[in-house]
Structure formats: structure tokens, C-alpha cells
Structure 1
Amino acid sequence: MRRLVVAALIVLAALPAMAAGAQVNASITGVTVSPQSPAPNESVTFTPTVRNLQGSGDAMVIERVELRPSKGQGLPVYTRAQNLGTLSPGAEITVPLTHAFEEPGTRDLRIHVDARNANTGESIQLRYPVSLSVQERHPQIDVQTNDSVAGVASNGSVRVANGLDTSVSNVEVSVSGDGVTVFDDRSVFASLEQGGTATADFRFRPQRAGNNELTSTVTYTLPGGTERTVTQNQTIETDPARRGVVLETSRSGSGTEQTLTVDIVNQGNTPADEVVVSGVSENATVSQTIVDSVPARSTKQVRLNTTLSEPRADVVVTAEYESGTVQRSVNTSTTLRATPAAIELTGLDVTREDGVFQITGSTSNVGTTTARSVIVRVVPSENVEPAAPNRDFFVGEVPGSDFSSFDLTARATGNVSSIPLEVSYLVDGERTRETFSAPVDTGLTGQQEQQTGGGPGAGLFAVLGLGVVVALVVAGLLVRRYRRGDDDDLDI
């Protein structure tokens, strides 16, 4: 008999909650819970559906719908709704009840419906059990940072992933640190959908080497208006700063306009920022250039234009840069040389008239610097003397790889095969002297003298001509005498 009673109780427990009165047949057909896995202090909405069944004989007046713990006497009412109206047979109503639980854990709850028969006033009570698990859950936080160096700003990011079963709003991400200065430390997102992610970038600068702490805080609002906060600490390892910027130089060009190539080699573990490269020299002007940044363990190359005012220029190249919060500089020295001026006499031409030589040509500068105070003159010798009007010729300046013409006159006696010339000029404040020979066209000179009939050459030619005539006359007489002798022998 006891077994039958227990079985009957189990069957009744499995059926929906029913009214005890015979005239009203009502039940709680179900309860929806949202969110199903709330976090502490997150608002949860319980929505029971109360139905007056179609076969019910009377209407039902709903006085209260409450959310309570499932067990115990005198237990608190978490939330209630009152005076909800009358349900006719076949009608139903949903009643949302909202509550937030401060502590995590599993809750066994029950929906209480207190009603009465609209005609008889008979009391009607409906009950429905509800189980809820409150979990300490937040969006996930992932902090990523670059390798950090003491005194140097680095990059970092906070990635927020919403693993809750609801969207959140007013998401604020902030980053702070102990012994770490944080830049761009706050980001705000209007909302973050369920399953969505958001990334907040920031920059940080550790003040010392070793282990440093970063604290990331995410504040957000749940759909019910509850504001929640989650915090995560991140330990970062910070290396001591090692600075090692060096300069390497090379040059191109050989004249007064040259290019100085500078390699900025960053051998340290900190970037060199806002790099200004310049050069200083007493004998040259040097341009300046700017480089935004040279990362650690990398090289950047720049070119400086230089103009030499002298054949040699000692240049000090300096790079000023910022390393972390400290202003630093490094320099190196190099020497630039231009090919010095060198004058050669080119295009020489010599003509002669009445014993006077006219010499023309060009002073050609085969160097790359300017030759100054250039003078060309005829050098006196045994058979050559300078003559008016151009015993010497002042050319002046001859720029590098350029030329200037000159005109000289000289008087010669006897046979002359060349005219000695001297050119002198200043290079880097020192005078240089060089001697050249202007060749004389001897064939042209002999023809000119034969036409004029003058000079010892003409007398020698006359003597030789006379000797030839005499020799011919003597030869004729001998031939004639020989023939006469032959005739006398025939007479005998």
C-alpha cells in the first residue's frame, strides 16, 4: 500500500502545478530565465507563464507572483509582481521578475503564484521550481607587449573577448603600471556583442630594468544596468638600455663638389629617434639631413652635399638623436680631397715673320680646383729672347677642368727648333712653376729664309752651286782634249 502512495506522489510531482479548487483549472506552464548563467550582481529575469486552462469553469484573479527560495520557512521574497488582473478560461499571462545575486553559486528557487476564484473567492496557489547557477564570469582579457627596454617606449595591446551569453555595453579599458609610464592608457567601446572581441592599443615606458607590473582594468555594463569590473596583472621583463650608435663615412666625387655618404649604425637595443646628421669644416660647406628613426640593430644611410673651398677639407660629421628620454650625440671625422689645379700648355702654334716668333696656345687646368695668378712667359735662351709686345702674358684664374688662351712673342737668331716657355700659378697659396717647349716648324722656316735670300744658309748654297759649275767645265775640257789626242794618232 505504501508503494502505491509513493508512486502516486511521484506522478503528481511530475505534473504541472494545478489549482486545488474544482472550479478553476490553472497552472504555471513554464519559466524562462535570462541570462541562463549570470555573473554575480548581474540582473536575471525570470518570466513564468501562468495559464487558466481551457476547461476551467471560472475566471482567476492573480494577486501576486513571487520569486522565493525553494525551502525553509519565513524565507525572503526576492521579487514580486502584484495585482496582475483576471485570467478567463483559456487565457494566459507572462510575468517578468528581475533579481541579481551578489555571490556565485547554485540557487534552488521557486515561483509562487497566489490567486483566487473570481466567483467564489476561493484561494488558489501555484508553485514552480527553478534552478540557477551564478558564476563568476567576465569577458576574457589578453595583454600583449613588445620587448621592453628601460627608458624606452614600447607598444602593447589589451584584447577583450566577450565570452558571456549576453552583450555588454560601455566597455572601458584602462592600463596602469607600477614604475611604468603608460601613454594612450584609456580606450572606450560603445558595446561588445556576445562572442565579440575588441583590442585597445597603448604605449608604455618602463622606468627601470627588471620585472615590472602592468595592470589592465576592464569596466563594462550588463544589459540590466549592472556595472562590473575585471582586472588582470601582467609582469613584463625589462632589459637595461644598451646604446651603441656609430657613424661610418665614405665619399664620392673628386672635385670641389663632393658627396659624403654617412651610414648610421645602431648597434644598441634602443631606437635612435629624431636623428639630425650634419657636418662642420673650415674648408668646406656641408649640408644637413634628418632621419625620423633608426630602429635597434639596424642601419640607415644618408648623403651630405659638400663644397670644398680648398683642395683639402677635414670634416667632423655629427649625429644628434634621442634615445628614450635622453638627448645624445655621436661624431666621426673624415678628410675630403679635391684634385689640385695643374696647368698644361695645349694647342701650341708657332709662326715666324722677319725673325719674330708669334706663339699662341691655351693654359689648360687638368685639376679640379682653381689655379690662380696664372702667368705665361718666354724663357730667354742662347738663341731666343722675349720680344715686344708680349714678352709675358697674365692669364689670371683658370677654373678646374677649364682653359684660357694666351699670346706671346719672341726673337730668335740662328737655327731654332723650339721656343722655351714657363707657366707659373698659385695652388693652395703656393706658386708652382713648369717649363714647356713650343716646337718650331723647321721646314716652314727654311722656305721663308730661302725666299728672302738672307742668312748663312743662302751663302753656303751659292758656294756649292759654283763648285758644281766649275767641275762641269773642267770635265768638258778633259773630254775635248782626250778626243783631240785620238785624232792625232789617226794621222800617223
Structure 2
Amino acid sequence: MKRLHILAVSLLVGIALAAAVPAAADVPDARLVVSDVTVTPAAPDPGNTTTVEFTVANSGGSTTGVAVDRVALRNRTDGTVHAEASRLGALSVGDDVTLELSTAFDDAGVKDLELVVETEDEDGETVTVTRPVMIVVGGVDAAGITDDVQVDARTVLPSEIDEDEQLNVDLGADASGLLGGDSEEDDEELRTPLVRVEVTNFGTATARDVVVAPSTANESLARLAVVDVAPGTAESVFFDAGRFDDPTTITFEASYTLGTDRNASETTLEYRPNRGEVVLTDVDMTLEDGTVTVTGNAANPGLGAVNGAIVSIGETEYVEPAYPAREYFVGTIPESEFVRFDVTADVDHANATTVPLTVTYLADGDPYERTVELEYDARSESDESDGGSGVPLSVVAVIGGSVVIAGGAALSRRRLRGRD
């Protein structure tokens, strides 16, 4: 049986050079995994010592060793550190180490904590991983838990799934390598919307014959069987939410047997499918007869269509939209497709340093507006006819969430609450 554990990851979208294809954030050279988390005793009394044992592994997918600088057990809400240790040695690729932290809690109740592991790789880069830990101090009654068995649901990526967990859904033929293999199709994991349904037993008896029944307001879905859940442990199954194209409220009811009684616990998940987004690529800037023309591709790398997309020139002290293409109606951009655009502007060539480009669009029914400041470096038609080569604007503009500023481009974003 596994102990309580949940993994977390973050996603970063960056800005690259024009010759590159937009990509997700760089994967750290060190692939660290925190697993086998055990709390002893499972339900400690107030004031008594509680020990959290866990394993830190530098997985075989890493390309560097790491030095384990610090581990800590802290509160997830306010960051209070309950226990920590430092300078714990090094891990080569494929190595792991089992560590423990001990503390005591003055008051009974549910403690929402997390393990923090801070390391430094061979290039001096810091790599930090966290792992949530829940401790019930004083037992179920003292903690105020009215139901011995509880169920929780949240969306996850395949990369968050432990190798020893049973993946009970079909990821499809293109999903090889999603669990840490050598597949070059890593981006495919973003196309697999999974919901992790975790059944946790805070009681003193084993929950047997556990079945999770998903449902929406309109239909009941196929039930999922869960292995018996021993006291103080949690077991998970995975629900494939790929059938839902629109935001949907999904209820997960876990029914189970304790002794001779049949009981149930449920939770709801406000599931929202991944939205479409707009990325500007292959941007070019030319000058002809005093008018600057900006051309490029408006692409949608997201997991949903983008509608009503418009690309327009922004107005500044030195730049203003100009005839014949002050703005370009791109319209609908399906998932993994792009549309070519061109817009024109009058530019004060002596003083302008950037040209703002704004994109407005609808994603999943919500309006968005994104602006990128393009470095002004227009090439005239005569320059190109004289043998000039290469794209004068060395930037790929990512109109996305988190960004890395590069190539002289700055990006801002806001969600529209209304339009005049």
C-alpha cells in the first residue's frame, strides 16, 4: 500500500528566437522524485513525536548528479517550517536516499504540510521539488473528520504519476514514453486530460470493495474499481476526461464497505479542458514607400479552438496603425493550426525602438487581449533585392501565460472583462 502523496508540477511557456519552434519550459537536467512517504505514527497524539520518512531519487532520466542541500517539512498555507535538515550529501544519476524528519504538534487536527527538497546540479542550477503530506493529529475524532473515508479529485499530467501506480486508462498510441521513457513525443502528455481520484482512509478499519462512480448532471459514467484501502493510506484511480470539450462539473462518489456496513463519500470537480491560445511565429518586418508591414503566423498550440482572433498594430508616440491593414481579422484558429497575417503601420524611423502588436481572441468563450513589443528593425524592399538575407526581427512572439523575456521583446497580457 502507498502512503499519502500527491505530486505537483508547473508549466512555463517561453519566448524563443525566430528560427526556433515555440516550446514548453526547459525540463531540468535533474529529474527528482519524492516517493514512499510514511508518517509514523499514522495518527499521532498532540505533543508526541511524529516522524515523516521519505525517499528522494535522482531518476534515470536525469543528465546530472545533484547535491541535496536542504530538506524541510513545512506548512503549505503559511510556510511555517516544522523540521529541516541540510547538507545531506550527493545523488548520482539513478541513485536514491531515504531520509526522515521528526517534529511534534501541539494541537489536534488535520495538518496540511509539504516536503521540500532543495538541490543543486553539477552546473550550479537549483532544482527544488515538493510533495504534499497530510497528518491527522489526535486521530479522526479529535481532528473533526466526520467520515472515515474521503475522496478527492484533481487534474494531473502523466508525468505526475508514480511508476508504481496502476494507470487504468488508455493514453492512446502516441503516448509512449509519458512515464519517464525516452520518447520524443513528450508534448503528447499535455493532450491527455486525466483526473486523479484519490480515496483516503482516516479510520481504523480497512475500506473494502471500493468503487468510484463518476457522474455529471446529465449522465452516469463507467465506474472505477479501487483496491482495498488500509487505515492511514490512500489509493488512486485515473479517470479520462478527454470526452469533455466544455467546462463540466463531475461528481465522484466512492462507495465502500466497513465491517458489514456499506458507506459512501463524494466530491465534485469543476473540470475545465485546456484552452486554446495564440502564438505569433515567423514574424517579419519590411519597409516599402514609407509604410512598415509586419507579417507572421498566428498559431494555436493549445488544446481547443481560438475564435474571433484579431491582430492589430498598437499606437505609441512613434507608431500608429496605417492603411491598408491597420488590423487583420484572423478569425478561428483550430487546435494545432495557424493563419498568416499582415498589418501595416506608419513609424518614426529615427526614434521608434519597438512596434506593439496586439492580439484579441476568445478561448473557451472568454475574451483575452495580449500585447507584445517587437523590436523595430524593418528591412526595406531594396535591401532584400540587393541580396539581404535572414529575418530582420529576431524574435518569436509567444502570446501565452508565463513568459521569459528574450530577443528584445516584452510581453504583457490581460483578460478582458468587457469591451466598449
| Normalised-by-shorter TM-score class | 0.3 to 0.5
Select the structure that is richer in helix.
1
Select the structure that is richer in strand.
1
Which structure is higher in RCO with an 8 Å CA cutoff and minimum separation 6?
Answer: 2
Which one has a bigger Cα radius of gyration?
Answer: 1
**TM-score with structure 1 setting the length:** 0.33
**TM-score with structure 2 setting the length:** 0.38
